[in-house]
């Protein structure tokens, strides 16, 4: 496999999810024709790819992949403790899916509500994976989410990025478009929102919110109609009960204090 195939798979979402993209990108560093600059420009809203590659350049590919693998195990073991009897989730996060599978295998009884996540329907992927694992799952159009959030005990979301300012304060958590709305609905109904993911998803830089091909929404757009296809939005930290990373189950403020110690 050459560099062009790597670029295509990441850009087309054949490889999707921040962690999967980071792993794929790090492995691609072994290719002779790979360009780190081009690799990093493929998904501008995925800082884990950037952080993983920078770590790999100093510490090697194997050590980087081992860290990501072990971090995920820690997150899953921590997060499964917060699984309620009814869990709402959105889009597809391998960490969320694996946490729910782990909870099922450790005798937790629960069901999952997952939105379809249009326009690419990543929620269907989540539903299929959970169903194959023997977990009761219900899916629905995104606009029906409020009804199912209000029935839930908790909301589990993945994340693509943690946005911080130069004072190590979290100003937002980036995830699939729709996530901020769902987190706010949960918060207003006193339902805890847990964000799951590797701490390497933090970024002190201002991130560009990716916009994707308009044909994903409307194949033949009529004249004079403007269409936007935002891939992500930003969850306000106040709507989040805890961010669960390999560093622990922490509030946004606690996470940044911990990260500041870890990543001097």
CA distance 162 to 201: 6
151 phi/psi in degrees, rounded to 5: -90, -10
Residue 35, CB half-sphere, CA atoms under 13 Å: how many?
Answer: 7
If asked whether residues 59 and 79 sit together in one domain, one would say no
* pLDDT value, residue 1: 65
Decide if pLDDT at 264 tops 70. Answer: no
Residue 33 appears among annotated catalytic residues: no
Average pLDDT over residues 11-25: 85
If asked whether residues 64 and 93 sit together in one domain, one would say no
Contacts of 71 (CB under 8 A, 6+ apart): 198, 199, 200, 245, 246
If asked whether residues 101 and 29 sit together in one domain, one would say no
If asked whether residues 54 and 78 sit together in one domain, one would say no
Q: What is the pLDDT of residues 81-126, one digit of tens each?
A: 999 999 999 999 999 999 999 999 999 999 999 999 999 999 999 9
Decide if pLDDT at 138 tops 90. Answer: yes
If asked whether residues 138 and 258 sit together in one domain, one would say yes
Q: Which of 68, 86, 111 is the last residue of a domain?
A: 68
Q: Which residue in this structure is represented by tokens 């998904």?
A: 43
Decide if pLDDT at 164 tops 90. Answer: no
Nearest CA to 235 among 22, 112, 91, 126? 91
Residue 160 appears among annotated catalytic residues: yes
Decide if pLDDT at 239 tops 70. Answer: yes
Residue among 154, 160, 213, 233 flagged as catalytic:
160
CA distance 244 to 33: 37
Q: Which of 68, 101, 123 is the last residue of a domain?
A: 68
Which residues are paired to 233 by β-bridges?
175
Report residue 129 as tokens: 């994976």
Q: What is the pLDDT of residues 24-66, one digit of tens each?
A: 889 989 888 888 888 888 877 788 998 999 999 999 999 999 9
Beta strands in the chain (DSSP E): 86-89, 111-115, 136-140, 154-157, 161-164, 170-176, 193-196, 202-203, 232-235, 242-245, 248-250
Average pLDDT over residues 195-222: 90
Count of domains forming the chain? 2
Q: What is the mean pLDDT of the chain?
A: 93
Average pLDDT over residues 235-261: 94
Q: Which residue in this structure is represented by tokens 């496999």?
A: 1
* pLDDT value, residue 260: 82
CA distance 195 to 251: 10
Report residue 163 as tokens: 């946005």
The CATH number of residue 172's host domain is 3.40.50.10470
CA distance 21 to 76: 19
- The strand order across the sheet containing 161-164 reads 202-203, 161-164, 170-176, 232-235
Residue among 66, 91, 188, 213 flagged as catalytic:
91
* pLDDT value, residue 32: 84
Domain encompassing residue 58: 3-68
If asked whether residues 193 and 135 sit together in one domain, one would say yes
* pLDDT value, residue 252: 94
Pick the more confident residue, 131 or 16.
131
Q: What is the pLDDT of residues 69-89, one digit of tens each?
A: 999 999 999 999 999 999 999
* pLDDT value, residue 108: 96
């Amino acid at each position: 496999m050459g560099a062009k195939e790597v670029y295509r798979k990441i850009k087309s979402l054949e490889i999707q999810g921040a962690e999967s993209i980071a792993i794929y990108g790090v492995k691609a560093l072994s290719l002779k024709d790979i360009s780190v600059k081009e690799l990093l420009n493929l998904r501008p809203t995925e800082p884990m790819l950037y952080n993983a590659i920078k770590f790999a350049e100093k510490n090697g590919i194997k050590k980087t992949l081992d860290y990501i693998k072990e971090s995920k195990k820690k997150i899953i073991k921590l997060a499964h403790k917060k699984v309620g009897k009814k869990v709402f989730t959105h889009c597809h996060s391998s960490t969320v899916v694996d946490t729910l599978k782990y909870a099922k295998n450790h005798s937790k009884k629960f069901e999952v509500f997952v939105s379809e996540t249009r326009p690419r329907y990543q929620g269907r992927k989540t539903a299929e994976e959970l169903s194959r694992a023997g977990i009761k799952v219900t899916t629905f159009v995104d606009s029906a989410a409020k009804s199912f959030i209000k029935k839930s005990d908790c909301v589990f979301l993945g994340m693509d990025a943690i946005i911080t300012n130069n004072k190590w304060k979290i100003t937002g958590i980036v995830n699939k478009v729709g996530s901020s709305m769902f987190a706010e609905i949960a918060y207003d109904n006193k339902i805890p929102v847990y964000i799951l993911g590797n701490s390497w998803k933090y970024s002190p830089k201002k991130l560009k919110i990716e916009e994707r091909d308009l044909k994903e929404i409307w194949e033949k757009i009529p004249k004079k109609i403007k269409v936007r296809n935002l891939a992500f939005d930003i969850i306000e930290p106040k709507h989040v009960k805890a961010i669960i990373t390999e560093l622990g189950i922490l509030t946004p403020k606690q996470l940044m204090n911990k990260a500041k110690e870890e990543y001097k």
